[in-house]
Every structure is written in C-alpha cells, then in structure tokens.
Amino acid sequence: MWRDKVKAYEGQIVEDLKGLLSIESVREDDKASSENPVGPGPRKALDYMYQLAERDGFGVHDVDHIAGRIEAGEGEDLFGILCHVDVVPAGDGWDSDPFNPLVTEDKIVARGTLDDKGPTIAAYYAVKILNEMNVNWKKRIHIIIGTDEESDWKCTDRYFETEEMPVLGFAPDAEFPAIHGEKGISTFDVIQNDKAEDQDEPEYELRSFKSGERYNMVPDEAVAHVAVKENMTDVIQNFEQYLNDNQIDGESVVDSGVLVLKVYGKAVHGMDPSIGVNAGLYLLNFLSSLDLDKTAANFVEFSNKYLFESHFGEKMGMKFHTEVMGDVTTNIGVITYDNQKGGSFGINLRYPEGFEFEEALTRFKSEINPLGFSIELGKNQTPHYVEKDDPFVQSLVEAYRNQTGDQTEPFTIGGGTYARNLDKGVAFGAMFSDSEDLMHQKNEYITKKQLFNATSIYLESLYKLCVEE
C-alpha cells in the first residue's frame, strides 16, 4: 500500500531533491552575518525547504535564519523529524559536478544525497503524502531543519533555546532499521605553545602545513612548504620512495626555492577514521625523517607519538571498548602549522557510555603540557541511548520490517545525529544494509530505490505513530 502511494510522487520527489542538491550549502564563516549565520549557502537551502512547504500548504517558522521548522498534523503531543540541509565540502576527485545533480536511470549523484538532503526530502514527502490523504492526525509534526549539523550544531542549540521540544522523534540521517544509541562526541584542539630556538641554521625549515577542513572528516589532502638548504633532489627522491612504500599518492614541486610536498589520502566520515587515509598524518610522518627546525620537529614528533596510526585513542591513552557501543575513535580532522605561530591538531573523539571523558582529557593534558602543548576543548556531547525494546523504537522497526522483510535488530553507532537532541529520539534511515556508504566522500549518491523505499518506510511509521490511535 505505502509503496504504491509513493510511486505516484516519484517524479516530484526527484525534482524537489535536485533543487535542494543544487545549493552549495557549505558553512562559510568568512561570509557569515546576521542574515546568513553560517554563510549564504545553508541559508539558501533552509529557505528552499520553506518554499516547498509553503507551496504544499504547510506552515513554517524561522529561527534567526539558522534553523526552522515545517508544521503539519494536529494534536496535543509533538512529534519531531530532525533534518539538516548543510553539507561538508565536496573535496576533489568527483566524476561529476557535486552541486549539479547527475540523475541516471537508477541513482542521483551529488554532495548531500545521503547526508542529509536525500533523507530530508524522503521524510518531507512522507508527511506531504499523508497530509494529501487527509488523514485524521493524532499528533502535531515539526520537521525541524538545521543548517550547521556538520560543524558545531549552532542551529539546534539556538532552536531549542526558544522552541518546543518534541515528545519523541527521529532523525533521518543514518541507517535502518533504527539507531537507538550514539557515542559521545567531543572536539578539541591540541595547540603548540612553545617555540624552540635553533642553535644553528636548520637543514630544513617547515614554513607551513595545512590539512583538513572539518573535524568530522578524515583529510584527503595535505600540503607542506619546506625550505631546503641543500640536497633538494635527495628529499624529493626520499618522498617518492615514502609514497611508494606506503601505497599513497602525492606530488612535489619546487616553488621559488621552497619545496612544496602534497599527499592525497582518502576522505571518510570521522566516526570511523580507520577506513580512511589521513593525508595530514602521513605527510607529517614523512617530515619526521628530515632534520627540521626544532619547533617543527617538536610538532612532527607529537604527531608520531600520539596520533599517527592510532585510530582508537591507543597512543593518547584513551583506548576503551564496550560490547554495546564499541570503541573510542579519534579522527585528526584539521592540522595546521605556521613557522611564526606553531601548530595545532583539531581532534574529533567519539566515545561509548562508560568512558570517563573528563578524566581522560585531564590526564592527557597533564602529559602533554611539559612538551609545550595545551588543549582547548570545543563541544562535548555525551552519549545518547534509548532502550531498543522501547515501544517507540519497536514501532519504527516494525514499519521497516513490514516494508523490507528484513529482521535486523536496531543497533548503535559512532556517528552523531540530531536524534540526541531528544530525550526519546533515534536515528532512522535512510541507508539500507546494501547501500554504499559514501557520506563525506567523493561521488556520493543515493539510489532511486533507496530514496523511494525510505519514503515508504517513513510513511508507514508516521501513520502508526501520528495517525492511528
């Protein structure tokens, strides 16, 4: 039944999704203003969702242009569907324009198809279809739209300062059948405070280093500028050998007497950095083979000692595992160095229930302070958990099983979704077990089958929870 309902809307779903995907809704702090709190792209995507809602007869409510909602349904209790329309930067290596959606017979290719524009449109259409069926709503529905999920969550932080909290709800921003637990997520910077004086002129001076744009992405490119006193050819040959030995890509050029080294890695979502290739850490590892100036040498040594080839916090003394939620993970998402200011590492740490985060961070601080490094803590979100046997979770899972026949149990993840904003919130789709997970990677796509099946599942689940007695 529900799949038949969706079939009549397939063309509209694709067209509306294409419009949303065409907006480059990447956070741009240098273009932020009161009108565009995290840049013009996310604001434009938010306004686009308002336009769809107004076209279809729904009410909308904006909160300072950084978040807002689409209003549907009737009743006393409030059900939330928490979505986001911002995306991570596209990065390099795409086979098509990441913001000019490529629609083929079976899929749609663009940045945001999986995370989170495709699922957002699927959830929106589930509400739209039910509304056009003139169902007898038993709950109010707020489709809450954020614009800063991929960075600091300024959007939901601001939204829930003044707006009603849903009694329960889901975030269509993960996997089916349901995610009933999410790890704690912390971001912090390790900052080099001390500059070391060189007694003699160093053979090699690290002028600058840059890798990564987001804490929650494994960096796929790193660039270092190195002043070389002599033996330039030897350094280049050793670099090429290093690339070959480690089976990674890179290149070197000489620019005005300065050696520019580049390493190319593999970008993946920061929740599981072990499946990516961190270009920044590899390049720092190579630089450790050079007799660098002392400040740079200290920076590079820190990376090797605590960060390189340590995806699970082992080298930082933070290794921890639970059966329910898995391992602590550490992603080094942003690395910078300047020969005048020193360097910094931007770290995204994810941890299961039971991990003593504050205690671990305090211990790590005390260990690295004598080495000339300090820690600046950013945001820390504690783990989120709803019992998988909760009737709400089981209702969602039942809808999934009815539509797919798959009996997979709900599970927990290392990622973080808006579901953790709610006391009783879970992540619910839109990826399936056979979906290729290209979130935060090049050539991100969603299949039409996945998009339409997710819409059907959302339809049934919303009918169960918000229409049926």
Cα distances (Å, whole numbers) of residue 89 to 99, 212, 214, 439: 11, 10, 9, 11
Give pLDDT tens digits for 165-193.
999 999 999 999 999 999 999 999 999 99
Q: Does pLDDT of 1 surpass 90? A: no
Predicted confidence at residue 469, as pLDDT, reads: 60
What is 185-381's CATH topology?
Answer: Alpha-Beta Plaits (3.30.70)
Residue 341's SS3 state is: coil
pLDDT band at 318 (very low <50, low <70, confident <90, very high): very high
State the span(s) of the chain assigned CATH 3.40.630.10. Answer: 2-182+384-466
**Cα(265)–Cα(242) distance, rounded to whole angstroms?**
14
Q: How confident is the model at residue 440 (pLDDT cuts 50, 70, 90)?
A: confident
Mean pLDDT of the chain: 95
Task: Give residues with Cβ within 8 angstroms of 157, minimum separation 6.
Answer: none
| Least confident interval from 4-8, 150-154, 245-249 | 150-154
Decide if pLDDT at 468 tops 80: no
Contact 249, 189 (CB under 8 A): no
Give tens-digit pLDDT for 376-413.
999 899 999 999 999 999 999 999 999 999 999 999 99
Q: Which of 127, 170, 154, 173 is nearest to 65 (CA)?
A: 154
The CA-CA-CA angle for residues 450, 185, 410, to 5°, reads 40
Instruction: Give me the DSSP letters along 160-181.
Output: HHHSPPPSEEEESSEESS-EEE
Q: Is 125 exposed, middle or buried (0-12, 13-18, 19+ CB in 10 A)?
A: buried
Catalytic residue positions? 86, 149
Taking only the tens place, the pLDDT of each residue in 64-98 is 999 999 999 999 999 999 999 999 999 889 999 99
pLDDT per position as a tens digit, 254-295: 988 899 999 999 999 899 999 999 999 999 999 999 999 999
* Residue 122 scores a pLDDT above 70: yes
Query: Residue 202: what are its φ and ψ, rounded to 5°?
Result: -70, 155
- The pLDDT-based confidence of 446 (bands split at 50, 70, 90) is very high
| Predicted pLDDT of residue 415 | 80
**pLDDT score, position 91:** 87
- State the average pLDDT over residues 96-103: 98
Instruction: Give the model's confidence band at 234: pLDDT under 50 very low, under 70 low, under 90 confident, else very high.
Output: very high
Which CATH number applies to 2-182+384-466: 3.40.50.10540, 3.30.1490.20, 3.40.50.10140, 3.40.630.10? 3.40.630.10
